[in-house]
Structure 1
């Protein structure tokens, strides 16, 4: 895995509301996953910033109800700083362009819920770190305009996730 401290400032800025996230080394996992995602897409890692909320199911259920109208917990949510999704199904979103040279561009925020992630990892028989790596990659792709609502978009996004995870040594979560 990439050591984020070797290449300058941190790409991900984490707010911990749930302390169990610190026990598994979320900082290292999130930084590695986010850097791998941007690098895979040819984006300069130092040009961007991502906020990450490490929370529990209660908090993410509140956020899910507020922003998506779904009063239940989920594993990960994302809020892009701007709409980047292409109109054409299966098209690649245009890459974000930093507005101020030398200043990192805010890509948006991600929230991730401990309880749901731990349960999903356990139920799938996957290491928690692998599952969280997948969800961070997934969230970062959402921040970049990728989605999975339409079949062509889902095919593109899942393929990218598998490629990025493969580079990180994480098995493809879509193939069992």
Structure 2
């Protein structure tokens, strides 16, 4: 007769979470690879954190993504590698992997150019794009007109909570 196994369920080989994963909430990470972000946006880290927190509150989640404030050249490279589009863009989002809150990458030159064209501050446009990226990580999209209206409405409401003017309302511009 063979000995009976003490295990009645399959053995879970996943590593146990560490104490800090249990007791400390995940914190977003902000990586500033292009110094122009700091020179152009006062208190850039605080602005990004406020936008992330407002989006998380709206979504009812505690996501802690990494936000990469980069050059257009780096964002162009990411856009080419991951989306097959060999051009810079304002914001890219990458879904969360295990143990990650996802990633949001922003290209400085494109963000600055768009802000100027819309007569908005770079800081307000940055907050808008961080919220936009957070909503993408939360499952929102804008491929169809109905989805786009829903996402724009959510962006406007979230931005209002942190004192950023509605980017979708005509006539909103710099003083």
Q: What is the RMSD computed on CA atoms of the aligned residues?
A: 1.8
Structure 1 equivalent of residue 159 of structure 2: 165
TM normalised by structure 2 equals: 0.77
What is the CA–CA distance in structure 2 between the aligned matches of 1:106 and 1:152, rounded to whole Å?
A: 30
What is the CA–CA distance in structure 2 between the aligned matches of 1:9 and 1:114, rounded to whole Å?
A: 29
Structure 2 equivalent of residue 76 of structure 1: 91
1:106 deviates by: 2.4
1:11 deviates by: 3.4
Does the residue aligned with 2:100 lie in a helix, a strand or coil?
Answer: strand
Question: Contact (CA 8 Å) 1:11, 1:34: kept in 2 or not?
Answer: no
Matched, 1:64 2:79: yes
Does the residue aligned with 1:107 lie in a helix, a strand or coil?
Answer: coil
Structure 2 equivalent of residue 174 of structure 1: 168
How many residues align? The count is: 145
1:110 deviates by: 0.6
What is the CA–CA distance in structure 2 between the aligned matches of 1:57 and 1:29, rounded to whole Å?
A: 20
Matched, 1:152 2:146: yes
Greater RCO, CA 8 A, separation 6+: 1
TM normalised by structure 1 equals: 0.76
Structure 2 equivalent of residue 11 of structure 1: 27
For structure 1, the 5+ residue unaligned runs are 1-7, 83-98, 100-104
Structure 2 equivalent of residue 123 of structure 1: 117
What is the CA–CA distance in structure 2 between the aligned matches of 1:9 and 1:119, rounded to whole Å?
A: 36
Structure 2 equivalent of residue 32 of structure 1: 50
For structure 2, the 5+ residue unaligned runs are 1-23, 171-175
What is the CA–CA distance in structure 1 between the aligned matches of 2:169 and 2:27, rounded to whole Å?
A: 29
Answer 1 or 2: which has greater strand percent: 1
